[in-house]
Amino acid sequence: MPAQTTNEVKSKLLPAGTQAPDFTLNSKPDQKISLSALRGKPVILAFYPADWSPVCGDQMALYNEVLPEFNKYGAELLGVSVDGAWCHRAFSEARKLRFPLLADFEPKGAVAQKYGAYRDGDGITERALFVIDKNGVIAWSYCSPIGVNPGADGILQALEDLPK
Amino acid sequence: MSNLKNPVTPTDHSQGPEDAPATLVEYGDYQCPHCVHAHSIVKRVQKHFGKQVRFVFRNFPLSQIHPEAEGAAETAEFAAAHGKFWEMHDLLFENQEQLSDSLFLQLAKKLKLPIDAMESALESGEFATRVGSDFSGGVRSGVNGTPTFFINGRRHDGPFEYPDLVAAIEDAIGPAKAVVNG
């Protein structure tokens, strides 16, 4: 693991106030999800570098546990990485994930690029979080150092801060 | 940088003086292998710093991946209600590979806790609220997996081997003072 810093990395993410770029990605080998189809409720978009990180309670496993708290705000959670739909399926089954993982696989990282969350050269996405309001506007974004699991506190605060 | 949102209170399970210069809070899961590893490290850290460190343990059961973690946490809380939190806490970690309802009862017997009361407490989820409130508070504070440590309210990111924790606590309070007997 690279040396971890506690400083927020210098971020090129789309900031709050920006219309969230629409996308359609595979959530299963035979199923797609479009962001625009979720209009009307808050959406949490969690970009993460890769499936199968070798720790207990990694970021996606944590969110799986915190899902009931996200649901209190009526929010939909979408995990996004450059892994393919079959890889996501195996990972999701192994971790018993109860929310969709989207495959930003072809063209690789294209959605992450639009959100300013792609790491050129590394070929993976940042650990980047977005909370999108019910009108499809980014209400909050945060880029965590790649080695640091950002937890869920920022997301919950952003959901809390959405106009009721 | 995440900070502990819910300060340590007398309802927390803690070891060491209330006014210790360093407070080490751990959010842990009795079924998490990394937490067992951390368990022995924390004991060494406590020994090293003596009265300079207060240690607090809060529940963060990752129930989806660790099906016995919630029951274990409630068992520890039941023991706490009978003044035996730390004894149960140690036993649960020492027996992590056998965690199950029958083990919980066995450990309760060992600690001479009222078995019937414990069975009904586990069944009714009497301590689920307490465990749940530890969990929610942890999430709000930026707990991002298990174990997660906070030193004087600041989340400790990165490795938690003995030298790492000692260094992080020294960063907060300066080098350990020689332990004076008595």
Q: Which pLDDT value is given to residue A57?
A: 63
pTM as predicted: 0.88
CATH number for position A137: 3.40.30.10
Contacts across the A-B interface (CB distance below 8 Å): 68
B119 has a pLDDT exceeding 50: yes
Which of B58 and A56 is assigned the larger pLDDT? Answer: B58
Q: What percent of chain B has pLDDT over 70?
A: 97
B182 has a pLDDT exceeding 80: no
Q: Look at residue B4 and tell me if it is in a domain.
A: no
A2 has a pLDDT exceeding 60: no
- Please report residues of B whose CB lies closer than 8 A to that of A153: 2, 5, 139-142
Q: Look at residue B167 and tell me if it is in a domain.
A: yes
Q: Count of domains in chain B?
A: 1
Residue of A nearest to B61 (CA): A65
Q: Which pLDDT value is given to residue B181?
A: 46
Q: Which pLDDT value is given to residue A54?
A: 62
- Please report residues of A whose CB lies closer than 8 A to that of B37: none
Q: Look at residue B153 and tell me if it is in a domain.
A: yes
User: A126 near A47, Cβ under 8 Å?
Assistant: yes
Structural domain of B22: 13-173
Q: What is the mean pLDDT of chain B?
A: 95
Structural domain of A112: 24-161
Q: How confident is the model at residue A5 (pLDDT cuts 50, 70, 90)?
A: very low
Residue A105: C-alpha distances to residues A119, A143, B46, B87, B111 (Å): 14, 21, 48, 50, 55
Alpha carbon of A159: minimum distance to chain B alpha carbons (Å):
12
Q: Look at residue B97 and tell me if it is in a domain.
A: yes
Question: If residue A125 lies in a helix (H) or strand (E), which one and from where to where?
Answer: strand A124-125
User: A35 near A20, Cβ under 8 Å?
Assistant: yes
Q: Which pLDDT value is given to residue A8?
A: 46
Lowest pLDDT segment from A53-57, A78-82, A130-134, B1-5: A53-57
Q: Look at residue A104 and tell me if it is in a domain.
A: yes
- Pairwise CA distance, residues A162 & A80, whole Å: 22
The amino acid that residue A83 corresponds to is: D
Nearest CB among A57, A149, A152 relative to B32 is that of A57
- Please report residues of B whose CB lies closer than 8 A to that of A56: 29, 32-34, 62, 65, 145-146
Q: How confident is the model at residue A148 (pLDDT cuts 50, 70, 90)?
A: confident
Q: Look at residue B50 and tell me if it is in a domain.
A: yes
CATH number for position B67: 3.40.30.10
Q: Look at residue B85 and tell me if it is in a domain.
A: yes
Q: Count of domains in chain A?
A: 1
The residue to which tokens 């998490």 are assigned: B32
